[in-house]
A and B are shown apart, each in its own frame.
Chain A
Amino acid sequence: MSVHWPPIRFTVNGEKREVTVPPMKRLLDVLRDDLQLTGTKEGCGEGECGSCSVRMNGELVNSCLLPVLQAAEADIQTVEGLAPNGALHPIQEAFLQCGGAQCGICTPGMLMATAQLLAQNPHPDPTAIREGLAGNLCRCTGFMRIFESVVHAASGKLADAAAGEAPHAR
């Protein structure tokens, strides 16, 4: 028995993509299995840990909770889209300098949450940083180095670059 699924089109990291998959397939699985974008991670599969966070149409979403159907015609950014040429984005540079990544498994989601936060609030205060990252669990760092990374990313030129780097948001 073969089912012919209708193609679903969306933009990922600035590139137009089309997939022919069951419409209830999780966006996370489409990114990882069909598009080989394995930077986005699964931690819990129920929207609690935020490891699968991606940005979609200017919002931060848990790709493990999102049927790909809902991503039709959407503009999606994953961690791979932060540094399209392999050179670190200022947010990534800040995480590297400040020790914001340890085991690295929450890092792609944490980076997307930070990008989202800084796009909306280029100079977040400590409370705003905590709120902005509250949906992303890190078990290694105790969050201190991550907060510092965000502050560092938000300082000076980094902030402008970070805010400017929501290029796929419409």
Chain B
Amino acid sequence: MPQPAATTRIVGAPVPRKEGVDKLLGRACYVDDMEREGMWYGATVRSSIPRGIIRSIAFDRNIDWSEFTVVSARDIPGENHIHLIVADQPCLADGKVNHCEEPILLLAHPDKHKLRDAVNAVKIEYDLLPAIFTIEESERQDVIVWGADNLLKSFLLEKGDVDSVWADAARIVEGEYHTGAQEHLYIENNGVIAEYDRETGVTVWGSLQCPYYVFKSLKSVFDLADDKVRVIQTETGGAFGGKEDYPSIIACHAALLAMKSGRPVKMVYDRIEDLAATTKRHPSRVRHRTAVDGDGRLLAIDIDLATNGGAYATLSSTVLSRATLHSTGPYLCPNVRVRARSWATNMVPFGAFRGFGAPQAIFAMERQMDEIAAAMKMDPVELRRRNFLHDGDMNATEQVMREPLILEQLLDRALAQSDYRAKRQRFARENQTGAVKRGMGIAAFYHGSGFTGSGEVILNSLAGVDVTSEDRVRVLVSNTEFGQGTNTILTQVAAEALGIEYDRVTMAPADTGQVPNSGPTVASRTSMVVGRLIERAGLQLVSMLREHAGLGEKYTTEEFFAACAQYRKTKGEVLSKCRYEPPPGIKWDDEVYHGEAYGAYAWAVYVAQVAVDTVTYSAEVEEFWAVQEVGRVLHPVLAAGQIEGGIAQGIGYAVFEKVVWQDGRMANNQMTNYIMPTAQDVPPIHVYFEQIPFRYGAYGAKGIGELPHDGPAPAILNAIRDATGVAFNSIPLLPEDLFAGLAASPLLQETAAL
């Protein structure tokens, strides 16, 4: 197997973002910038109740319905469900609804301004059924809303025997932690354009992450063969997981309208609809029971983890899986039990969001570590240091840590850069008198790169590079650019492997008619897994050219393209494809959750400095330090941008972003009242990388995209604990929550008495 070169020309260099100029000139083409000849516009009639039977649907006579195309479940030629993991979510509700905003009817009209009145002119009457909204209501099982028992998925992970430990432990610490929903708030809403042709089938252009997910859904909804469905990603204005599963729904809707109207149909949600109707991060409740010995060493970790999945299964099982596998932190513990369950409710279904269950689980674990430290009267840094995993240790799934593991080094750098110890001492002194209490908080964590367990083998990704007769090298992948840098890093990797200039390599369009299925753009897999395929495909192409077209050991770009021309003449298409091969020794047992959960892990230690104002009850993150090891950094500017962006979202998750619910529907579904951090809210963020190349990733890369969302929330709430002495165990933590928690604390009373 070819090994990564010791030095690289293009990988690791800050080359310009591949599609950057188009974005900066305002000419990058997002779906709402596109038009098709004779195009109509689509809209959705949605459920106004959380659960019930549809009794009647009436169309107001004041609307001239002959101008409209109306689609119901009866118009679906194939299966009425969205193809994902479980076939439970209808494309259009048929007789009953299970959540507010569930799609029931679709309307199309040539004038988009006529659609809103038309949607409001459809009157639906229901027979209400009892609805449930919380994990607690669902697990009581008084009302069954999904399957036989409301349980979307459960896992049990066991290592050693936790129950043998409790009696002899020096200390047992218990805690319960809650995380709220979080909205992706990509600035471009969900949108697609669909066309239908009896001969050629369905074509969809859209803002999406996973063209082949949409492809599969369209195939089943329309009962079409592979060659009759084509999905093309348009420039995508942010996604963060929010365009992993939802685009399949809106694509099927627009395509149904296109089929029935005989017109291209554009469906682009406005912000209000996007916030109300599309997925969010799963809310969670995590209960910890931890046994430690007299030195603070972990003896047993017992976790009960529950998520609220909403009305349909969507990706809840895989989100729960990742939560389970990230729930015990980067620590060595001989006895572990994690019971994880995802519960159905009548909420709008929850879905993928950067981190995918890990932020919820890591929030609980890292808060719990600080509570253990407090119970043991230990420094939280020292407690972590004593329990870190090392090379050769076995984690909770008894995966042996074979990579060099440098958690102490990350920790020491984070402490040094943040001046952690001196600041803690200074703040402890200043906090005795001031109304503003400052604290330092820490979080240590990992994020598994790529699909879990045997997931990458099952995906069986295929990717490649080709060279056109116009001397254009194209990277052939179905992986998509939505801001994170896919285009740039994959063309860097290809240029590096091929030994030519970065500018000579382009991305083939993310079009299922043109590129192979290299898997979805999710799970921090693009750099490590897909990048590796491109590296291999590039090196393979060079070998082909050497063997069959006389390419020398050293060559210029011109010689490279001359060899391509020669190869084309004698052998045909200049194309090199590679299929995924797992690193050796990967064994995973899905039944008992045992073995190599991930091929590689990214590791991090984050530090937050927070100021809590005991007059206004604001918690301001004043500064943030992020030290991580993500393997080889392919592009320093993009990598830092990924970390900073993830941290800003994590800060929002912790202390800004609250989804207010009413009947399982987002009530604050506007940017006016769902508040994300602005330019004035985000603190200085300092980013540091330690680089240990991973031998099975592209030029040593591991995953990076999700990692930064995992750490901020626990680091911030740990800092608030440090500042105030009060343990806050739920996020989002807004000023009213701080008020409620601090009002009862002796700290505040002392300050008030001053």
Q: Which residues of A contact B (CB under 8 A)?
A: 32, 37-46, 48-49, 51, 78-80, 82-83, 86, 88, 92, 95-99, 101-108, 111, 129-131, 133-134, 136-147
Contacts and interface: CB of A to CB of B under 8 A. Distances in A.
Contact of A83 (B25, B32, B671, B680): B25
Contact of B672 (A46, A133, A134): A46
A145 B679 contact: no
B39 to A, nearest CB: 12
Nearest to B20: A96
Nearest to B23: A104
Contact of A142 (B25, B26, B644): B644
B33 interface: yes
Contacts of B676: 137, 139
A95 B32 contact: no
18 contacts: A39-B27, A43-B188, A46-B672, A49-B187, A79-B25, A96-B21, A97-B14, A98-B637, A101-B24, A103-B238, A103-B482, A105-B186, A134-B678, A137-B678, A139-B676, A142-B645, A145-B641, A145-B644
Contact of A43 (B239, B271, B644, B682): B271
Interface string B159-195: 0000000000000000000000000111111000000
Q: Which of B28, B184, B644, B679 has the most CB of A within 10 A?
A: B679
A29 B309 CA distance: 38
Given A38-B33, A45-B271, A102-B641, A139 B240 contact: yes
Given A88-B24, A139-B240, A139-B676, A144 B685 contact: yes
Interface string B199-240: 000000000000000000000000000000000000111111
Sorted nearest first, the 7 A-B pairs with minimum C-beta distance are: A39-B26, A105-B237, A103-B483, A104-B23, A142-B648, A79-B26, A102-B483
B237 A143 contact: no
A88 to B, nearest CB: 6
B186 A103 contact: yes
Contacts of A82: 25
B359 to A, nearest CB: 16
Interface string B608-649: 000000000000000000000000000001101100111111
A45 B641 contact: no
A43 B187 contact: yes
Contacts of B235: 104
A86 B25 contact: yes
A43 B236 CA distance: 13
Interface string B477-497: 000001111000000000000
Given A38-B33, A41-B187, A108-B26, 12 more contacts: A44-B671, A78-B26, A88-B21, A97-B14, A102-B483, A134-B678, A139-B238, A139-B649, A140-B641, A140-B645, A142-B647, A144-B682
B16 interface: yes
Contact of B685 (A44, A106, A142): A142
B17 interface: yes
Interface string B18-46: 01111111111110110000000000000
Contacts of A139: 184-187, 238, 240, 645, 649, 676
Contacts of A42: 32
B17 A103 contact: no
A57 to B, nearest CB: 21
A103 B25 contact: no
Interface centre among B26, B33, B186 (most CB of A within 10 A): B26
Contacts of A41: 30, 32, 187-188, 237
B72 interface: no
Nearest to A132: B679
A24 B370 CA distance: 57
Interface in B371-400: none
A38 B188 CA distance: 13
A143 B679 contact: yes
Contacts of B484: 102, 140
B637 A145 contact: yes
Contacts of B19: 104
B678 A96 contact: no
Nearest to B678: A134
B318 interface: no
B671 A103 contact: no
A131 B644 CA distance: 19
Contacts of A105: 30, 186-188, 237-238
Contacts of A32: 33
Interface of B: 14, 16-17, 19-30, 32-33, 184-189, 235-240, 270-272, 482-485, 637-638, 640-641, 644-649, 670-672, 676, 678-680, 682, 684-685
A45 B270 contact: yes
A130 B27 contact: no
Contacts of A101: 17, 20, 23-24
Nearest to B236: A103
Contacts of B25: 39, 79-80, 82-83, 86, 88, 92
A40 B685 CA distance: 29
Given A46-B670, A131-B680, A99 B649 contact: no
B187 A137 contact: yes
Contacts of B240: 139
A67 B28 CA distance: 26
A96 B671 contact: no
Contacts of B640: 99, 144-145
Contacts of A51: 187
A144 B649 CA distance: 13
A92 B238 contact: no
Candidate in A43, A83, A134, A140 with the most chain B CB atoms within 10 angstroms: A140
Nearest to B27: A39
A138 B645 CA distance: 9
Contacts of B14: 97
Contact of A137 (B28, B482, B671): B671
A101 B646 CA distance: 15
Contacts of B682: 142-144
A133 B679 contact: yes
Contacts of B638: 99
B181 to A, nearest CB: 16
A147 B680 CA distance: 11
B270 to A, nearest CB: 6
A15 to B, nearest CB: 16
Given A104-B237, A139-B238, A38 B17 contact: no
A136 B679 CA distance: 8
A19 B396 CA distance: 66
A21 to B, nearest CB: 12
B187 A106 contact: yes
A96 B16 CA distance: 7
A104 B187 CA distance: 9
A19 B271 CA distance: 27
Contacts of B637: 98-99, 145
Contacts of A48: 670-672
Contacts of B186: 103, 105, 139
Contact of B483 (A49, A95, A140, A143): A140
Nearest to A101: B23
A2 B483 CA distance: 44
A99 B188 contact: no
A46 B484 CA distance: 27
A49 B671 contact: yes
Contacts of B23: 101, 104, 107
Contact of B17 (A43, A83, A99, A136): A99
Contacts of A88: 21, 24-25
B32 A80 contact: no
A88 B649 CA distance: 30
Contacts of A107: 23-24, 26
A87 B239 CA distance: 29
Contacts of B185: 137, 139
Contacts of A108: 26
Contact of B271 (A46, A78, A133, A142): A46
Contacts of A130: 679-680
B648 A143 contact: yes
